[in-house]
Amino acid sequence: MSDDDLERRARDLLDRAALAFRGHARAETWLRHHRVRLDEPLRVAVAGGPQTGKSTLVNALIGEEVAPVRAGGAPVWFHDGTRPLARVRPLSAPEFVAPLERSRPGHDVAVPETGAGSVVVEWPCRALRHTRLLETGADDALTEADAVLHLVRHLGDPPSLPIGGAPPVHVMVLLSRADELAGGKPDALLNAKRIARRRRKDPRVASLCQDVLAISGRIAHAGRTLREDEYGVIAAIAGLPRADADAHLLSVDRFAGASFPLDIPASRRAGLLDRFGLGGVRLATTLCRSGARSRAALGEQLVRQSGLTELQASISDLFTARRGVLKARSALIGLEHLLLAEPHPAAGALAAELELVVAGAHAFRELRLLAGLRTGRVALPGELAVEARRLIGGEGGAHCERLGVEPQTPPERLWPAAERAAARWHEQTTGAGTAGGRRAAEVVLRSCTAILDDLG
């Protein structure tokens, strides 16, 4: 079953359920909600406990200082829009538009005394055109997301995730505030990335999520929004004799103290600490010394070093590129919840077909293998790993993209390419290598035969 087939089957099941539950107001509302969700941009939740850096990561992904949006504790969505505004959705009243009141940090939104079910912040942003972000610390709000970035300050053994028994093709764990690890030592960010790479290969962690990454949302946001005056101050610090600069970068007190060797007002140094953190100032100074000769160059390197570039690549490969799969998964889970909650004569037949659709959803297995190849949990020889990633949709879901041939290649030329790929991967399923490699080969072989079935 291809990505398009899975989405089509999910849509068809929702339509049939809507016919079966006609006249049942609560079920009709639920089904209509999930039918609309199928056609929306991908919904990605930025979730985690208090002080895990959710707002900072939202700002880093958007590239502007929008969050936090204080709205009486309601979950806050971020959508693309023509101008900044907030749409408040009260629990028991019609939606209304409210102004975004700028404050430090973020914005305030006035909500009714009775509270709001949710708040939608519209903000002109290219990053939000194909993805909607949800910032929440509430587990129950995660059912409204198609994918989850789960932020933790420490990696447990294994990490505890609020996803119940759901298949983890939609979850990524982020070791957030990585620059503060172990007291914010100079190598904190590098150590955090090493920890994340080690933990992502742990089978217990692999059973809970697609990937584990370390990121400093604060450094990422500072890099994306770096100002010329900030660059000037950092470049001046980098220009000091190294011993003098490093001595005053050992602690916050030394950096902010009166004995600082440059005539930089204490308020500006405090502003740098607020924006970058001490670890970020150290990193920016090092990057300036090693060749970042402009604001743009320093900003770009800060973003890369922060882990944001790697995160964006993972989101693109595992979430955005497989939007249809994740949207279909959300629809199927929504339908399953309805069938369990609302007894109906047609529920048995619908539940049986839903189970068949999920069992035949090869796209879920492709996503798991794609994550395994990205993280190193699945090891294949170099050229085979590259081909496997392509055949399971890592470079696009179209037949031409999967087979690595020119766009618009006619079907009569696609068929032999798919046959050759299937033969190669059939050999891998029975050849030498690890059991994990053979299981991976079975997934790739199924992707090849799916292409052949479709062409046939």
* Residue 6, CA distances (Å) to 210, 322, 329, 349 in order: 20, 11, 9, 18
User: How many alpha carbons fall within 13 Å on the CB side of residue 365?
Assistant: 18
Question: What are the tokens at 107?
Answer: 């914005």
DSSP letter at 319?
T
Question: What are the tokens at 332?
Answer: 């199927």
Q: pLDDT digits over 413-424, tens only?
A: 999 999 999 999
Report phi then psi at 147, rounded to 5.
Answer: -145, 155
Average pLDDT (386-393) is 93
pLDDT(162) > 60: no
DSSP letter at 155?
-
pLDDT(163) > 50: no
d(CA 270, CA 416): 65
Looking at residue 396, what is its pLDDT? 85
Q: pLDDT digits over 311-360, tens only?
A: 999 999 889 989 999 999 999 999 999 999 888 888 889 999 999 998 88
Q: pLDDT digits over 177-226, tens only?
A: 999 887 667 788 899 999 998 888 887 787 788 889 999 999 999 999 99
DSSP string over 379-444: ---HHHHHHHHHHTTBTBSSHHHHHT--TT--HHHHHHHHHHHHHHHHHHHHSSS-HHHHHHHHHH
Other beta carbons less than 10 A from residue 164's beta carbon: 8
**β-pairing verdict for 42-48 and 107-108:** unpaired
Looking at residue 299, what is its pLDDT? 97
CB 86 within 8 A of CB 97: yes
DSSP string over 200-229: HT-HHHHTT-SEEEE--HHHHHHHHT--HH
- Please state the domain extents for the chain: 219-306, 327-455
pLDDT(152) > 70: yes
Looking at residue 164, what is its pLDDT? 39
pLDDT(157) > 60: no
Considering the chain, what is the average pLDDT of its residues? 89
Looking at residue 9, what is its pLDDT? 93
Report phi then psi at 199, rounded to 5.
Answer: -75, -30
